[in-house]
A and B are shown apart, each in its own frame.
Chain A
Amino acid sequence: MNNISIKLTSNKLSLKECYSFVEDPTCGGIDIFVGTVRNHTKGKKVEKLDFSAYGPMAIKEMQWIAEKALEKFDVLKIAIHHAEGMLQIGDIPVIIAVSAAHRVAAFEACQFAIDTLKETVPIWKKEHFSDGEVWVNAHP
């Protein structure tokens, strides 16, 4: 049984696909985190976000996170899907879906996955404003 789905794509992400992948008759809970592009940052209006990735390494790191989540938490399946390219306000750059017999493990694994993804996966977003563009977090 394949328990991990990793995807990095310039196509639209699909909530349905992630849900279908993780759902299982042995699971009583599915936790899904959806990241969305918001229209402001630090009080400034954002027009769009440009996501770029070091593809092969991003996939490896997402795979590692998924394997770690299955190891650390009592969960059955996990999907980690990330979009690349230009995204508009309201678009979905990331979906993390986790299924487990019980909800606590699902919540914890899902949070672990998104928190770790934001620390380690080589994907970058550039904010586009009306007066220019800025790489997010470039000068921490």
Chain B
Amino acid sequence: MIIFTQTKKQMQTQVLLFGIVADLVGESSINLELKIDSTVSDFKKKLTETYPQLQNYTTYAIALNEAYALDETIIKDKDVIAIIPPVSGG
């Protein structure tokens, strides 16, 4: 008996956009497909591939589930990603 198992290789992520990045993309929220076990770094690459208008503009931090994340942090399925351009509160 042969059993076929389908391993999920991709995941859909929800990405919230703010500030100048939201203006450049024209949306406040987008969906991006990523390979399972992508890092934040991988995500940034995929983002600028998908939205070339961000290529010259890469000064932003990334938050996962409302907390700042590092480039090497792995993104999990259902994580809420947010792009945090340089902040200017206060």
What distance in Å separates the Cβ of B14 from its nearest Cβ neighbour in chain A? Answer: 13
B59 touches A140 (CB 8 A): yes
Which of chain A's residues have a CB closer than 8 A to the CB of B72?
A: none
* Complex Cα–Cα for A56 and B18 (A): 13
What distance in Å separates the Cβ of B40 from its nearest Cβ neighbour in chain A? Answer: 15
A94 touches B82 (CB 8 A): no
Which of chain B's residues have a CB closer than 8 A to the CB of A53?
A: 89
Say whether, besides A57-B82, A137-B86, A124 and B59 are in contact (CB < 8 Å).
no
Interface core residue of A35, A94, A137 (most chain B CB under 10 Å):
A137
Which of chain B's residues have a CB closer than 8 A to the CB of A82?
A: 89-90
CB within 8 A of A124: which of B63, B68, B85? B85
In the assembled complex, B31 has its CB within 8 A of some CB on chain A: no
* Complex Cα–Cα for A123 and B18 (A): 9
Say whether, besides A114-B90, A124-B18, A56 and B85 are in contact (CB < 8 Å).
no
| Interface residues in B1-57 (C-beta closer than 8 Å to A) | 16, 18-20, 23
Which of chain A's residues have a CB closer than 8 A to the CB of B18?
A: 52, 54, 122, 124
Say whether, besides A135-B20, A139-B59, A35 and B90 are in contact (CB < 8 Å).
yes
* Complex Cα–Cα for A137 and B85 (A): 9
**Number of chain A residues whose Cβ lies closer than 8 Å to a Cβ of chain B:** 29
What distance in Å separates the Cβ of A109 from its nearest Cβ neighbour in chain B? Answer: 15
Say whether, besides A54-B16, A57-B67, A137 and B88 are in contact (CB < 8 Å).
yes
Say whether, besides A57-B82, A139-B59, A123 and B67 are in contact (CB < 8 Å).
no
In the assembled complex, B74 has its CB within 8 A of some CB on chain A: no
A residues near B (Cβ < 8 Å) are 35, 51-54, 56-58, 60, 82, 93-94, 114, 117-126, 135-140
- List, sorted by A's number, 19 A–B pairs whose CB atoms are closer than 8 Å: A53-B89, A54-B18, A54-B63, A57-B63, A58-B89, A82-B89, A82-B90, A118-B87, A118-B88, A120-B68, A120-B87, A121-B90, A122-B63, A123-B88, A123-B89, A124-B88, A124-B89, A135-B88, A139-B59
